[in-house]
Chains A and B, each alone.
Chain A
């Protein structure tokens, strides 16, 4: 019992009684004839680190700008903390945004940048100074206070931008590609810092990113978007392990897809027949009619070498090694199982590579368990 309560406070979306903090209700945004955002509804809870993930042009940035008030929806409503903010201009919203370009005012010092928003709400001077100091402290940029943006490095700019957008203690912080302008190594460190910061101050974060790894690392939940619509909303684990369609399965990580149709149901497992000839038995809680076309999705790291290959066994397949990519910690093998299909398998390099058995042209047998993949209805 105690565990269940715990789980609910950590995962408010599991709790049917929890009130969402940000509610997006059937929001649509048209630019001319193009639907940038198409009938999107979404509930985000207080304290969440929520990511909108998608490739460029999928509408994620437009949705973020609608939340900021920089864009007005063609239809639909936005509620923040219970209040309808749909028609509020950006300067009257309890929301702040960190821009992709950081948008630091080049003619102001770091301090003046951070102070800008506080001045707009006419905060008394002393309180303002305290708040600025608090923010500079929080992001450890105190010694940069007198510098101008063009005297800062990329990482420093990012911190200033963050300090500026947090200074007003917004109810909601929007981050547009917060790490997009940083180079790879810095990006990885900053991911964790950003999450720690968010946990410390407890502000609700909504970020936009096209980087799936970033979204997986940082978010409590994420929404995958495509062509203006939300395809799936779930926790990182949920999205990765249980994608709800081929688009999501393919968008995040690599995946092996086998087309086939359901021929038998046995409890919460189904038997899928594929053109490859080998039947596959997969866990499938959702109801599917016999004979309906489906796709079986199995992640490469869930594919193992098969010790005992039997012609009549399920979830086993044989092929020739066609390509090997050595990545250090793991190697990726492309195994051709039929003229039209390659199966990708990732194996940890436990032994030094030279001692590894697999080589080009070698025949291998592979298998996976019924619970290590999903069945997607087409």
Chain B
């Protein structure tokens, strides 16, 4: 039903519009959009040793003459130095592998919760969300103690007799995989669960009634219908994983090249702000496609609500 005052904006309506749309718009424009524009500007500046460490993009050379100096050196460097390209590719690979692992572990979990007896669902779901409320940093840190050479996992495996000497897991890419899957698993499970609970159970009964075996019914009915949840969960894991910094920094080794970490290093250690800005922009560009997918899903999810 259309809202009242639709064709006759009244003062209250106008004030409400200004407040509700204008204020958040202004805030986001100032602190989200403008910063990205500045990143673009600085990525085209020349790095200097000054404070802040970049040259002005434009200056008035003489009365009425504006000189603009665009420096594409940072972008050229990104392209020519294989280190950066490798870090982008590796970030994508890590994010992809982790997304798949999350899906592999998260889907059966979400399915089990969604099909569990009604009164168990909420507590089970709470247990998925709960870790999120404790510190992310500390939970990642916990893995250091588990994965290191004389850590819990190695001691346990040695005690079992599965291995003879400790495995080197910490400070490898494997540790990064474990850390990311561990941290982002809830983000995969939640949208999947939301999607699976909305699935009409009589559909499966109908499939069974029509002679479909359970596994086949799952593949032909449940799985296609949960596609929206799969996409949403995957995007929620993939996108932040690509730009992840903390996990590769704490668990990964020096050979674990990832963009987020690269950006951090360029910025804090090398003080090359233009290069960091260029890295940020390229990363942002990479994430546009999954972002649009995600946006589409979110709208759909809000609209098909009864």
Contact with B along A96-131 (1 / 0, CB 8 A): 000000000000000000000000000000000000
Contact among B4, B7, B8, B10 with A70 in the assembled complex (CB-CB below 8 Å): B4
B145 to chain A, nearest CB (A): 48
Contact with B along A73-95 (1 / 0, CB 8 A): 01000000000000101100000
Chain B residues with Cβ under 8 A from A71's Cβ? 2, 4, 6
B60 CB within 8 Å of chain A: no
Chain B residues with Cβ under 8 A from A31's Cβ? 2
Q: How far is the CA of A72 from the CA of B10 in the complex (A)?
A: 12
Chain B residues with Cβ under 8 A from A59's Cβ? none
Q: How far is the CA of A87 from the CA of B7 in the complex (A)?
A: 12
A85 to chain B, nearest CB (A): 14
Contact with B along A59-77 (1 / 0, CB 8 A): 0000000000111101000
Q: How far is the CA of A72 from the CA of B8 in the complex (A)?
A: 8
A153-182 interface with B by 8 A CB criterion: none
Asked whether, in the complex, the Cβ of B5 is within 8 Å of the Cβ of A72, the reply is yes
A109 to chain B, nearest CB (A): 27
Asked whether, in the complex, the Cβ of B4 is within 8 Å of the Cβ of A90, the reply is yes
Report the nearest B residue to A36, measured CB to CB.
B2
Chain A residues with Cβ under 8 A from B2's Cβ? 31, 71
Grouping DSSP codes into helix (H, G, I), strand (E, B) and loop, the A interface class, with mixed when no group exceeds half, is loop
Contact with B along A9-32 (1 / 0, CB 8 A): 000000000000000000000010
Asked whether, in the complex, the Cβ of B4 is within 8 Å of the Cβ of A69, the reply is yes
Grouping DSSP codes into helix (H, G, I), strand (E, B) and loop, the B interface class, with mixed when no group exceeds half, is loop
Asked whether, in the complex, the Cβ of B7 is within 8 Å of the Cβ of A74, the reply is yes
Q: How far is the CA of A90 from the CA of B4 in the complex (A)?
A: 9
Report the nearest B residue to A90, measured CB to CB.
B4
Asked whether, in the complex, the Cβ of B7 is within 8 Å of the Cβ of A89, the reply is no
Chain B residues with Cβ under 8 A from A72's Cβ? 4-8
Report the nearest A residue to B4, measured CB to CB.
A70
B6 to chain A, nearest CB (A): 7
Q: How far is the CA of A87 from the CA of B4 in the complex (A)?
A: 12
Q: How far is the CA of A12 from the CA of B8 in the complex (A)?
A: 35
Report the nearest B residue to A61, measured CB to CB.
B1
Report the nearest A residue to B1, measured CB to CB.
A65
Q: How far is the CA of A151 from the CA of B10 in the complex (A)?
A: 38
Chain A residues with Cβ under 8 A from B6's Cβ? 71-72
Q: How far is the CA of A339 from the CA of B5 in the complex (A)?
A: 55
Q: How far is the CA of A69 from the CA of B2 in the complex (A)?
A: 13
Chain B residues with Cβ under 8 A from A89's Cβ? 4-5, 10
Report the nearest A residue to B12, measured CB to CB.
A89
Chain A residues with Cβ under 8 A from B4's Cβ? 69-72, 89-90
Report the nearest B residue to A74, measured CB to CB.
B7
Q: How far is the CA of A89 from the CA of B5 in the complex (A)?
A: 8
Report the nearest A residue to B10, measured CB to CB.
A89
Q: How far is the CA of A225 from the CA of B163 in the complex (A)?
A: 83
Chain B residues with Cβ under 8 A from A69's Cβ? 4
B1-52 interface with A by 8 A CB criterion: 2, 4-8, 10
Contact with B along A217-246 (1 / 0, CB 8 A): 000000000000000000000000000000
A180 to chain B, nearest CB (A): 16
Q: How far is the CA of A191 from the CA of B6 in the complex (A)?
A: 35
Chain B residues with Cβ under 8 A from A90's Cβ? 4
Chain B residues with Cβ under 8 A from A70's Cβ? 4
Contact with A along B248-278 (1 / 0, CB 8 A): 0000000000000000000000000000000
Q: How far is the CA of A71 from the CA of B10 in the complex (A)?
A: 13
B3 to chain A, nearest CB (A): 9
Residues of B within 8 A of A (CB): 2, 4-8, 10
* CB pairs A–B below 8 angstroms (10 shown): A69-B4, A70-B4, A71-B2, A71-B4, A72-B6, A72-B7, A72-B8, A74-B7, A89-B5, A90-B4
Known: A71-B6, A72-B6, A72-B8. 11 other contacts (CB 8 A): A31-B2, A69-B4, A70-B4, A71-B2, A72-B4, A72-B5, A72-B7, A74-B7, A89-B4, A89-B10, A90-B4
In order of increasing CB-CB distance, the 6 nearest A-B pairs are A70-B4, A72-B8, A72-B7, A31-B2, A71-B4, A90-B4
